[in-house]
Amino acid sequence: MALAFDEFGRPFIILREQDQKTRLRGIDAQKANIAAGKAVARILRSSLGPKGMDKMLQGPDGDVTITNDGATILEQMDVDNQIAKLMVELSRSQDYEIGDGTTGVVVMAGALLEQAERQLDRGIHPIRVAEGYEMASRVAVEHLERISQKFEFDVDNFEPLVKTCMTTLSSKIVNRCKRSLAEIAVKAVLAVADLERRDVNLDLIKVEGKVGGNLEDTELIYGILVDKDMSHPQMPKQIEDAHIAILTCPFEPPKPKTKHKVDIDTVEKFETLRKQEQQYFDEMVQKCKDVGATLVICQWGFDDEANHLLMHRNLPAVRWVGGVELELIAIATGGRIVPRFQELTPEKLGKAGMVREKSFGTTKERMLYIEHCANSKAVTIFIRGGNKMMIEETKRSIHDALCVARNLIRNKSIVYGGGAAEIACSLAVDAAADKYPGVEQYAIRAFAEALDSVPMALAENSGLQPIETLSAVKSQQLKENIPFYGIDCNDVGTNDMREQNVFETLIGKQQQILLATQVVKMILKIDDVISNSEY
């Protein structure tokens, strides 16, 4: 149909170069898109839940990643299909917004697409399906609000928070020491949280990893960890009560921005130049010393001469510290970043109770700990582990746990996990379906069915009979009218999620449903796919 005719009967080309483009239209386009979306969801389906499996990803340079974090898998998957890319985006936006539930959102979208396909086969117009989904999602989100519970904790009693983080970590490879990691994450978040404003700036939590040691050696440091060592091997390795000068200017003679030349034509000038140069160095070091600094942290390097002068004047220094770290150090120690030596004043120095250098293993690897800072708002989580992949995976897991703790501080409402919330929503949506008179009713029912797929996948991954388990839990919820029953993934013996302490945040769950619905609606509305065919 890309060919039209004008009033004189001449062909009229709308789409150029027919043979180089492929085009899918109408129901075929929708079918193809749904298939692609489903395929992506199918990959992630087996990673859902505490007994979910991992994926091994080999990158373009042969580097290996092992993870079961949905967002990471999709990001590294080298996807070519447009719809599949949409799914990747979907999981990424969940990651940015909430930080957890990245697998769940994709599985949910896949289930919605699967159900939509069935509705399309029945001859229901895609737009009607999309609208039905929209209504259903509204019902589900409202219902979540209703079944949500307030979650009580405070700074002294953070046990409930730890439990929630443990739920998140239990699906990762680190679940061997989920308890200690969850505690670390919660303590870190509480350390930087502003409980008054209910705000947590996750930038203040730095997650560092170093290969070696055990996962059990992972620790929380109330301070900053810098992967650098003292510039001179003979400088003191430990400084108590450090006054830190944080500099972004190099220990070098000034370099004016304007182009200039210093011409030397006589011996005298040569001599003065030499003197001048020496003086510069001397002055710079003296300046630091004068304001009372006992440690210099510099973004730039300095040459041997400056290095020795510093060493000589008993002023330990660290060079080549990255910009981000420099900022963190400034925040933590309450110092100011000083761009010029002239502006160095005692007030601008940062203060830390203890700065020490620590070495690891048999190789010459050292790190600098800056602890007991004036402003303890910045913390570092230092991860140790058997190999690089393990550390990367632990980093991702910790990130998830941090996000969960943050979300709980922002909004105290929780719903119960293990599929309990989904089952409750599914029941509510199913009940609501009958109230709608139009064709949308079918779509709403389909939505309810799609919600069931999350607990179904959970049961399947845990080695339970999916259909049997799901129907048992569903009838239990309906009979007792309590929305806490979920899938017993860890074979504990009860499916009361209150007892198992499996929580999820309300906003996380709501976001999942909303995002999945949005993407599915978008996919359903596409009825024409034009792409460059392969050449």
Partner 1 sequence: MNYQQTIGDMKPGKREREEAEEGRKGSAENTIDKIFKDDASEEKGERARMASFIGAMAIADLVKSTLGPKGMDKILQSTGRGHSVTVTNDGATILKSLHIDNPAAKVLVDISKVQDDEVGDGTTSVVVLAGELLREAEKLVTSKIHPMTIIAGYRMAAECARDALLKRVIDNKENAEKFRSDLMKIAMTTLCSKILSQDKEHFAEMAVDAVFRLKGSTNLEAIQIIKKPGGSLRDSFLDEGFILDKKIGIGQPKRIENAKILVANTAMDTDKVKIYGARVRVDSMTKVAEIEGAEKEKMKDKVNKILAHGINCFVNRQLIYNFPEELFADAGVLAIEHADFEGIERLGLVTGGEIASTFDNPESVKLGHCKLIEEIMIGEDKLIHFSGVEMGQACSIVLRGASHHVLDEAERSLHDALCVLSQTVNDSRVLLGGGWPEMVMAKEVDELARKTAGKKSHAIEAFSRALVAIPTTIADNAGLDSAELVAQLRAEHHNEGCNAGIDVISGAVGDMEERGIYEAFKVKQAVLLSATEAAEMILRVDEIITCAPRRREDRM
Nearer to partner 1, 156 or 263 (CB): 263
Give the one residue of 62, 123, 437, 493 binding partner 1; rule: CB under 8 A.
62
Task: Please indicate whether residue 265 is annotated as part of the active site.
Answer: no
For residues 224 and 457, which CB has a smaller minimum distance to partner 1 in the complex? 457
> From the CA atom positions of the chain, what is the Rg in Å?
30
Contacts of 212 (CB under 8 A, 6+ apart): 360, 361, 384, 385
Residue type, 280: Y
| Contact set for partner 1, span 124-143 (CB under 8 A) | none
Q: According to the binding rule CB under 8 A, does residue 22 interact with partner 1?
A: no
Task: Read off the tokens for 140.
Answer: 């589900």
Nearest CB to partner 1, comparing residues 11 and 233: 233
Token pair listed for 50: 């505490």
257 near partner 1 (CB under 8 A): no
Alpha-carbon span 6 to 12, nearest angstrom: 6
Q: What are phi and psi of 32, to 5 degrees?
A: -65, -40
Active site residue 69: yes
Q: Which of 67, 69, 167, 294 is catalytic?
A: 69
Q: Within 477-516, which residues bind partner 1 (CB under 8 A)?
A: none
- Per-residue interface string for the shown chain with partner 1, residues 434-473, x marking contact by CB under 8 A: -----------------------------x----------
**Residues 126, 128: Cα–Cα separation, whole Å:** 5
- Pick the catalytic residue: 103, 218, 394, 505? 103
Q: Which is nearer to partner 1, 39 or 202 (CB)?
A: 39
Instruction: Please list the alpha-helical segments (H only) found in 417-533.
Output: 420-433, 440-461, 466-480, 497-500, 506-524
Choices 58-66, 429-437, 466-474, 476-484; region in contact with partner 1 by CB under 8 A: 58-66
Among residues 2, 64, 492, 530, the one that binds partner 1 under rule CB under 8 A: 64
Q: Closer to partner 1 by CB, 19 or 304: give it.
A: 304
- Evaluate whether 427 touches 207 at the Cβ level (below 8 Å): no
Q: Which is nearer to partner 1, 378 or 464 (CB)?
A: 464
Question: Which element (helix H / strand E) includes 365?
Answer: strand 365-373
* 309: contact with partner 1 by CB under 8 A: yes
Q: Report the chain's terminal Cα–Cα distance, integer Å.
A: 23
Counting contacts by CB under 8 A, is residue 11 touching partner 1? no
Could you tell me which of 39, 53, 59 has the C-alpha nearest to residue 113? 39
Residue type for position 107: V
Considering only residues 146 to 205 of the shown chain, the ones binding partner 1 according to CB under 8 A are 173, 176
**Residue (280 or 436) nearer to partner 1, CB:** 280
312 near partner 1, rule: CB under 8 A: yes
Q: Tokens 């040569």, residue?
A: 270
**How many whole angstroms separate alpha carbon 474 and alpha carbon 455?**
10
Given 65, 67, 72, 102, which residue is catalytic?
102
Output the 3-class SS for 426-459.
HHHHHHHHCCCCCCHHHHHHHHHHHHHHHHHHHH
221 membership: H or E segment, kind and range? strand 219-221
Residue 114: CB minimum distance to partner 1, A: 13
**Pairing, β 11-13 against β 528-532:** unpaired
Q: According to the binding rule CB under 8 A, does residue 300 interact with partner 1?
A: no
Residue 68: HSE in the Cβ half-sphere, 13 Å Cα cutoff:
20
Structure tokens, 135: 């209504």
Site for partner 1 in 399-438 (CB under 8 A): none
Considering CB under 8 A, how many residues would be counted as binding partner 1?
A: 81
Stretch binding partner 1 (CB under 8 A), from 46-54, 188-196, 399-407, 432-440: 46-54
Binding residue for partner 1, selected from 122, 274, 435, 525, defined by CB under 8 A: 274
Single out the residue of 356, 383, 388, 403 nearest to residue 504, CA to CA: 403
156 is catalytic: no
Candidates 13-21, 356-364, 430-438, 473-481: pick the segment binding partner 1 (CB under 8 A): 356-364
- To the query of whether residue 400 is one of the catalytic residues in this protein, the response is yes
Among 13, 264, 492, 530, binds partner 1 (CB under 8 A): 264
> Among residues 6, 17, 19, 80, which is the contact residue for partner 1, using CB under 8 A?
80
Using CB under 8 A as the binding rule, whether residue 528 contacts partner 1 is answered as: no
Residues known to be catalytic: 69, 102-103, 400
